[in-house]
Amino acid sequence: DDESNSSFFSGSGSDDSDGSSSHTCTSYEDDDTFISTDLTRTDTMLSESDGHIELLHTTTANTPGSVNPTPQYHIGDRIPLSHIPPDEIPLIERSLFGSLSMDEGDRTEWVQKHCTAARLNASAILIHFSKHCSVAAIMGTIDELVNTIILVSREFDAPLHTKCIEVLCHLTRYIGNNYALARKKGMVDTLIKCGRSKVPDDRTWAIRAFQNLTALESNRAGLSTNTILTVLSISAMRNGLEEQLAAVGALLNLSGEPGAIVPLTNTKNVLATLVHLAHNGDTCADVRNTACDCISTIGLWLQALAGVGVVPKDTEMELLPTHGICGWERWVNLTNGQHT
């Protein structure tokens, strides 16, 4: 109730000789037994927002004879500032949150510093989760989570955006996620931007994600765009082996889609890149084999297209290719001034 809420912070504060402050506050157990709680700089962290104090971490000391004391407030509770008497506000731990009277610039700096650390930790946890197939399957169904990861992946000035790209890549490892991910707003654009990044890890994770997305047949037609093909061909020519393998693998996947043949042959440097990789002795064997496979698949589709072309009925049927040549009214020979 309001009366008990207003007495959450009670007691007196004292300053230790080493400059740290500690405060004895009271909280309640179910049987109304008072429990003494010492709030120090490392014990309590409270965050102020929109007129509330949020209890982020607290330690409750056991008193003799008490069993599992229950604090009046719990981690995550939002305490209205109006419930805290003005004379008790100074008892709020200041060293972690900073003084309530600090100016806006200092407070913003403090928030940015601690939020950055929290975001890095959160992204590291998500990476561990996404590496497990069963967990990745669940993560892929949570729109708010996926949308947030996509958004943060575009923050190229933030140190954690590479971790978020890695999370997206791990989500594509589960086949069941890939149909929805390929159609998720901002997903493809984000991978394109990351595929053009100056950071090798950004590019590798993004191209690997493309490789997994294009492995799903229903995604290939939509991903066979000039922009994506250009990103893949540029990555295939870079020095990073993992990036090369992922890029050529994605091109091979797209070459298996009949609707992708025109974009593949139309996009500048795609075929030239594949031919270069296939004939370059310095290229990794796996990259060369994949490039050759891709060229062969494209050639097969082109031959199939030639075989189903509309031919006049009176045309003599011939096996293709004919290996013939064509010319316009060529002169074959010149004998005694006569041309034949």
Q: Residue 125: its pLDDT value, please? A: 93
Provide the pLDDT confidence category of residue 303 given band limits of 50, 70 and 90.
confident
pTM greater than 0.75 (yes/no): no
Provide the pLDDT confidence category of residue 214 given band limits of 50, 70 and 90.
very high
Look at 87 and 305; give whichever has higher pLDDT. 305
Q: Residue 159: its pLDDT value, please? A: 77
Assign 3-class secondary structure to the chain.
CHHHHCCCCCCCEEECCCCCEEEEEEEECCCCCEEEEEECCCCCEEEEECCEEEEEECCCCCCCCCCCCCCCCCCCCEEEHHHCCHHHHHHCCCCCCCCCCCCHHHHHHHHHHHHHHHHHHHHHHHHHHHCCHHHHHHHCCCHHHHHHHHHHHCCCCCCCHHHHHHHHHHHHCCHHHHHHHHCCCCHHHHHHHHHCCCCHHHHHHHHHHHHHHHCCHHHHHHHCCHHHHHHHHHHHCCCCHHHHHHHHHHHHHHHCCHHHHHHHHHCCCHHHHHHHHHHCCCCCHHHHHHHHHHHHHHHHHHHHHHHCCCCCCCCCCCCCCCCCCCCCCCCCCEECCEEC
Q: Residue 74: its pLDDT value, please? A: 53
Q: Residue 107: its pLDDT value, please? A: 58
- Mean pLDDT (whole number) for 117-125: 87
Kindly compute the dihedral angle of the four CA atoms of residues 291, 296, 302, 304, in this order, to the nearest 10 degrees: -150
Whether the pLDDT of residue 264 is over 50: the answer is yes
> 55 with 73: CB under 8 angstroms?
yes
- pLDDT digits over 56-72, tens only? 444 343 344 444 444 45
Q: Residue 195: its pLDDT value, please? A: 95
Torsion-angle region of 32 (φ positive above 0: left; ψ -120 to 50: alpha; else: beta)? left
Which amino acid appears at position 207 of this protein? I
Closest CA to 213 of 188, 243, 186: 188
Q: What is the mean pLDDT of the chain?
A: 75
> 139 with 129: CB under 8 angstroms?
yes
Look at 221 and 319; give whichever has higher pLDDT. 221
Look at 223 and 95; give whichever has higher pLDDT. 223
> 202 with 194: CB under 8 angstroms?
yes
For the chain, what percent of residues have pLDDT higher than 90? Answer: 45
Q: Residue 61: its pLDDT value, please? A: 38
Look at 62 and 85; give whichever has higher pLDDT. 85
- Mean pLDDT (whole number) for 90-98: 40
Provide the pLDDT confidence category of residue 136 given band limits of 50, 70 and 90.
very high
Q: Residue 313: its pLDDT value, please? A: 77
Q: Residue 315: its pLDDT value, please? A: 75
- pLDDT digits over 146-171, tens only? 999 999 999 988 878 999 999 999 99
Whether the pLDDT of residue 87 is over 70: the answer is no
- Mean pLDDT (whole number) for 318-324: 76
Provide the pLDDT confidence category of residue 323 given band limits of 50, 70 and 90.
confident
- pLDDT digits over 15-55, tens only? 444 444 433 333 333 333 332 333 333 333 344 444 444 44
Q: Residue 306: its pLDDT value, please? A: 75
Q: Residue 81: its pLDDT value, please? A: 54
Q: Residue 318: its pLDDT value, please? A: 74
